[in-house]
Amino acid sequence: TEAKPLDFIRQIIRDDLESGKHPSIVTRFPPEPNGYLHIGHAKSICLNFGVAQEFHGKCRLRLDDTNPGRESSEYVEAIKRDVEWLGFHWDGAVRFASDYFLAIYEYAVQLIRMGRAYVCDLNGEQIREYRGTLTEPGRNSPYRDRSVAENLSLFERMKQGEFPEGSCVLRAKIDMASPYIVLRDPVIYRILHKSHHRAGDAWHIYPMYDFAHCLSDMLEGVTHSLCTLEFENNRVLYDWVLDTLQTPHHPRQYEFARLDLGYTITSKRKLLQMVNEGRVSGWDDPRMPTLSGLRRRGYTPEAIRNFCAFIGIGKRDSQIDMGVLENAVREDLNQRALRVFGVLDPLKVVITNYPEGQLEEVLAQNHPQNPDLGARPLPFGRELYIERDDFMEHAPKKFFRLSIGHEVRLRYAYLITCTEAVKDENGRIVELRCTYDPASRGGNAPDGRKVKGTIHWVAAAQAVPAELRLYDRLFIKAEPDGDRERPFTDFLNPESLTLLSRCMLEPGLAKAQPADRFQFERQGYFCLDPDSRPDRLVFNRIVSLKDSWQK
């Protein structure tokens, strides 16, 4: 394996370990349980768990559950499942920010006692107005100079649930003229009379992200708190909280670029909207960029990890082409997927000189580039199916597949020549009549004549019918949520799903297992969908064989 230069985060960690700043490192992956994880989260998971593995440290899974109402244990379970599926193991038990509600509350009381926090009765709009702008300092809230005693009492009453939602908040008392807008007396607690998925109705006040996150990191002994670039501005507040409270331990926050993948959306809120509006069949719709969707589609965890390693970690936001993700799964499956025959759009072929009632088997390679994967027998008979578009009645010169009077190779079987196209009353071809060369078994003629075209096929009597689901990109625009005028749902691709319900597959596929992945020769990689039943097989196309996407 070639040595890739370390990204900036790995360099920082290596330096911190070499200098002895930390004897070992602790990271965390901190999703909010308000939706299913998506491919963007995979980048963060691979980074946090990856560096912990590489540098012999620990990585925790912490559910950042400080917004009751949006969060649920369904999401918690889905997140755990997806992290494990990607191949990572968190250190110890799963943690929850809500485990620390009491500790965080006590830190807030400590800030009040220090004169560094106050209860403010301005409403949200007023707070924004008082905050000022980048070029103008803010103004002090009229409630800024409440006494410590009054603040302690009001905060206690907030906690007891005496005040309605939105009537007041707890704010850190920092500096309304700070060049850092986040330091202009940020809100650190708000009132919410909502049931929490774990804490129930115990709390009427909930800490804000900026207050809860740094303290949770600190309480867990995190050394490197890795987050995406949009939190860069919040770092001064992260540090202010820990410095002001003189906590025994001070994790450092580092920001990296989020993953932005073209032709899709990586925002839980918008993905939830698509689920709720029925624009997809659920979080695990195989077109969704969620990990559960990619899993159902047939992506392997290895492919997703390789993709994350390939795109790397940097400090500049940029959009990654969907083709990069598709290539990652293609490369992975090319190595290991067994080759099989499946006919997507069947056209019947009758071999007129093949004895009626005769049946034989030919041997097909499971992976032509890897003979260790063996071979399988395929039934061959007088009636077969081939792809409708492997035949052309009036073929141009460069068409090397089947046409009248021309010879083609049935892969692993015989050379056949078409003699007649049988049509129905509408002129549609319903059957081809062909002859075969009995001496060409295996696919080559004894006289050495050259036959350029090779096509796949299945024996009609033994073929198993199946529904195949072909997927295209979910959106027709590289940045569906980048339009000011129109909602992202305007750019959904109406052709993102193609159902082929009359496909014919080689008989072995009746025994396909959920974890199996196949290359249907010439058609792409496929896996069984959970909708599949023994009497009604359903396969998803994971990805086509070549990047055929046209921009």
Beta strand 375-380 with 360-365 is antiparallel
Q: Which is nearer to ligand ATP, 31 or 286 (CB)?
A: 31
Q: Which stretch binds ligand ATP (CB under 6 A): 11-19, 25-33, 195-203, 496-504?
A: 25-33
Q: How far is the CB of 245 from ligand ATP (least distance, A)?
A: 23
Q: Environment class of residue 427 by beta-carbon count within 10 Å: exposed (0-12), middle (13-18) or buried (19+)?
A: exposed
Q: Which is nearer to ligand ATP, 75 or 525 (CB)?
A: 75
Q: How far is the CB of 18 from Mg ion (least distance, A)?
A: 32
Q: Which is nearer to Mg ion, 38 or 411 (CB)?
A: 38
Among 41, 159, 197, 296, binds ligand ATP (CB under 6 A): 41
| Site for Mg ion, residues 17 to 46, rule: CB under 5 A | 32
Q: Are 65 and 167 in contact (CB under 8 A)?
A: no
Q: How far is the CB of 163 from ligand ATP (least distance, A)?
A: 28
Q: Environment class of residue 2 by beta-carbon count within 10 Å: exposed (0-12), middle (13-18) or buried (19+)?
A: exposed
Q: Which stretch binds ligand ATP (CB under 6 A): 38-46, 165-173, 196-204, 316-324?
A: 38-46
Is 339 a catalytic site residue? no
Structure tokens at 213: 């996150």
Residues annotated within the binding site are: 32-34, 38-44, 64, 209, 228, 258-259
Task: Give the residue nearest to ligand ATP (CB).
Answer: 40
Number of residues counted as binding ligand ATP (CB under 6 A): 16
Q: How far is the CB of 60 from ligand ATP (least distance, A)?
A: 12
Long-range contacts made by residues 178-183, C-beta under 8 angstroms, separation at least 24?
A: 180/233, 180/236, 180/237, 181/131, 181/132, 181/134, 181/233, 182/210, 182/233, 182/234, 182/236, 182/237, 183/236, 183/237, 183/240
At residue 341, φ and ψ (nearest 5 deg) are -110, 130
32 lies in the binding site for ligand ATP (CB under 6 A): yes
Q: What radius of gyration, in Å, describes the C-alpha atoms of the chain?
A: 31
Distance (Å, whole) CA 352 – CA 18: 77
Q: Pick from ligand ATP, Mg ion, none: which does 216 bind, CB < 5 to 8 A by kind?
A: none
Q: Which is nearer to Mg ion, 35 or 57 (CB)?
A: 35
Half-sphere exposure of residue 483: CA atoms within 13 angstroms, side-chain side: 14
Structure tokens at 138: 């803010």
Distance (Å, whole) CA 36 – CA 292: 8
CA dihedral 502, 264, 256, 59 (to 10 degrees): -40
Is 32 a catalytic site residue? yes
259 lies in the binding site for ligand ATP (CB under 6 A): yes
Q: Taking CB under 6 A as the rule, which mask of x and - marks residues 216-255 in contact with ligand ATP?
A: -----------xx---------------------------
258 lies in the binding site for ligand ATP (CB under 6 A): yes
Residue 236: in which H helix or E strand, if any?
helix 235-244
Pick the catalytic residue: 62, 146, 171, 268? 268
Q: Which stretch binds ligand ATP (CB under 6 A): 150-158, 261-269, 328-336, 468-476?
A: 261-269
Is 268 a catalytic site residue? yes
Pick the catalytic residue: 32, 383, 431, 479? 32
How many residues comprise the chain? 551
Q: Are 49 and 88 in contact (CB under 8 A)?
A: yes
CA neighbor of 271 nearest in space, from 506, 479, 488 = 488
Q: Are 204 and 160 in contact (CB under 8 A)?
A: yes
Number of residues counted as binding Mg ion (CB under 5 A): 1
30 lies in the binding site for ligand ATP (CB under 6 A): yes
197 lies in the binding site for ligand ATP (CB under 6 A): no
Q: Taking CB under 6 A as the rule, which mask of x and - marks residues 56-95 in contact with ligand ATP?
A: --------x-------------------------------
CA neighbor of 283 nearest in space, from 264, 296, 298 = 296
Residues with catalytic annotation?
A: 32, 258, 268
* Binding region for ligand ATP (CB under 6 A): 30-32, 40-41, 43-44, 64, 227-228, 258-259, 266-269
